[in-house]
Amino acid sequence: MKPWEVVHHINGRRSDNRPANLCVMSRNDHDRYHRWYDRIRANYGRYPKKETQLVKLKDRFNGILLGEPVNKKAG
The mean pLDDT of 4-32, rounded to a whole number, is: 96
Predicted confidence (pLDDT) per residue in 25-66, tens digit: 999 999 999 999 999 999 999 999 999 999 999 999 999 999
Residue 70 lies in a domain: no
Geometric angle at alpha carbon 19, from 42 and 10, rounded to 5°: 5
Residue 72 lies in a domain: no
Amino acid at 39: R
Residue 75 lies in a domain: no
Domain count, the chain: 1
Residue 22 lies in a domain: yes
Residue 53 lies in a domain: yes
Q: Can you give the residue range of the structural domain that contains 55?
A: 5-65
pLDDT of 72 higher than 80:
no
pLDDT at 1: 79
pLDDT of 75 higher than 60:
no
